[in-house]
Amino acid sequence: MQAELITIGDEILIGQTIDTNSAWMGKELNSLGIQVSQITSIKDERDAIKNALFAAEQSAANLVFITGGLGPTKDDITKHVLCEYFNTVLIRDNEVLDRIQTFFKARGREMLESNNQQADVPEACTVLLNDMGTASGMWFERNGTVFVSMPGVPYEMKHLMQDRVLPKIQELFKLPAVFHKTIMTTGIGESFLVEIIKDWETSLITEDIKIAYLPSPGIVRIRLTGQGDDLAPLQEKVLRKAKELYSLVPQHIFGEDDISMEEALGNLLKEKGQTIATAESCTGGYIAHLLTNKQGSSAFYLGGFVSYDNQVKIEVLRVDKDSIEEEGAVSETVVKQMANGARNLLKTDLAIATSGVAGPDGGTDEKPVGTVWIAIASSKGVIAKKFLFEKNRDRNIRRTALAAMSMVREVL
């Protein structure tokens, strides 16, 4: 089964918006055994939309997903062009209208005529109700091809795909069985990882399992994929091979199935009934943000400090002034005192502290940009480790956070 994606809107063509929707859809469809054969981004213009629809309808794809161009403003014309293309007219849908009115009421916002018009939908389509916004999804079928039009706002599109579109597709079509397993690793580069597990990788060929290495800063995901007629044997062989990885690189695996490091750590803390605090200098609140980004984090995260200025380290975290003067803020002594300070103040089981030169400026010969000290305080005492990351500030902050969370996992 093949699919084509069409994204409508000038913002992608002029480079103001990066097309993350298509990447997300490609991934989701792939995991169901549907291959995306083409992604086309076009202008918010009648002829461009009609041509793209026509080309997709002529192609080998049975599924065409269209995103964008459904907002209430004047430059959004997709709905009208869809009517023209499918030879139908707009009618006002009272259920949709009710939902839009409720949506505005709940937010205490006034409705404009342009919002009412969002309840107008093509007569020939099946409406896909949108719980996250005011633009409905629309499902058309013609000569064996399904066309689905959705708003371009990422969380609205994702909601419609997950809750409306994909279930409907799975109901309609017999899709091949596909089974994926992703193993998340950290603290080892892709080429080193490949070297360690190369014999295991070769053994995948005889099992007809595909492998992909997906690197991102500080993390390499190993994805295994089996495809066939029946799910059960696929599942068995993919899981068996995935399990073998645990004996090859046990210290580098922190989770499975695209779980984030912060979520894996959160789960582990909850499981062990441990609480944690943060004292961040170079990461500037990023670790706190990661730990609190998922719901339920109050079960293990009590709070933290961003001690950007040295005075804050001294007065709030009770770091020794002389240590800062003698060894500098980016030092083993100071980062350990920060971790102990946070742990004592917030009475947690554990505390993370970071201090480093995130860059791009501020490096010296002795402590170049990318130098980072991380400490973990626990009932076992305090440990600290020095890292030398890179020149890029964003990536240094990200990699420090990952390394710190990885150290907490080791302590636990």
Q: Report whether 27 contacts 60 (CB < 8 A).
A: no
Residue 162 makes contact with a second copy by CB under 8 A: no
Residue 62 makes contact with a second copy by CB under 8 A: no
Instruction: Report H helices in 112-197.
Output: 113-116, 154-160, 166-172, 190-196
Q: What is the pairing mode between strands 126-128 and 210-216? A: unpaired
Residue 307 makes contact with a second copy by CB under 8 A: yes
Residue 338 makes contact with a second copy by CB under 8 A: no
C-alpha 325: how far from its chain's center? Answer: 41
Show the site string, 265-284: x = touches a second copy by CB under 8 A, - = not.
-------------x-x--xx
CB of 158 to a second copy, least distance (A): 11
Residue 71 in 3-state DSSP? coil
How far apart (Å, rounded) are the C-alpha atoms in residues 16 and 9?
10
What is the footprint of a second copy within residues 180-199 (CB under 8 A)? 189-192, 194-195
Number of residues this chain uses to bind a second copy (CB under 8 A) = 101
Select from 65, 147, 179, 301 the one that contacts a second copy (CB under 8 A). 301
**Cis peptide bond upstream of 360, omega within 30:** yes
Cβ closer to a second copy: 63 or 288? Answer: 288
Q: What are the backbone angles phi and psi of residue 178, rounded to the nearest 5°?
A: -130, 135
Residue 120 makes contact with a second copy by CB under 8 A: no
Q: Write out the two tokens for 111.
A: 């409705």
Residue 285 makes contact with a second copy by CB under 8 A: yes
What is the footprint of a second copy within residues 140-159 (CB under 8 A)? 153, 155
Select from 129, 212, 231, 248 the one that contacts a second copy (CB under 8 A). 212
Number of other residues whose CB lies within 10 A of the CB of residue 114: 13
Task: Choose the binding region for a second copy from 26-34, 141-149, 163-171, 230-238 (rule: CB under 8 A).
Answer: 26-34
Cβ closer to a second copy: 41 or 130? Answer: 41
Task: Choose the binding region for a second copy from 92-100, 122-130, 213-221, 319-327 (rule: CB under 8 A).
Answer: 213-221
Residue 136 makes contact with a second copy by CB under 8 A: no
What is the footprint of a second copy within residues 75-94 (CB under 8 A)? 75
- CA angle 394/294/68 to nearest 5° reads 75
Residue 312 makes contact with a second copy by CB under 8 A: yes
Residue 213 makes contact with a second copy by CB under 8 A: yes
Contacts of 136 (CB under 8 A, 6+ apart): 70, 93, 96, 118, 121, 127, 128, 129, 130
CB of 268 to a second copy, least distance (A): 18
Residue 244 makes contact with a second copy by CB under 8 A: no
First to last CA, the chain: 46
* Residue 27 vs residues 8, 62, 227: alpha-carbon distances, Å: 20, 18, 15
What is the footprint of a second copy within residues 366-405 (CB under 8 A)? 388, 390, 392-395, 397
Select from 91, 172, 214, 248 the one that contacts a second copy (CB under 8 A). 214
Select from 304, 377, 404, 409 the one that contacts a second copy (CB under 8 A). 304
Contacts of 322 (CB under 8 A, 6+ apart): none
Residue 256 makes contact with a second copy by CB under 8 A: no
Q: Which long-range contacts (CB under 8 A, 24 or more apart) does 359-366 make?
A: 359/391, 359/392, 359/393, 359/396, 360/391, 360/392, 360/393
Task: Choose the binding region for a second copy from 137-145, 244-252, 339-347, 376-384 (rule: CB under 8 A).
Answer: 339-347
Task: Choose the binding region for a second copy from 8-16, 120-128, 242-250, 375-383 (rule: CB under 8 A).
Answer: 8-16
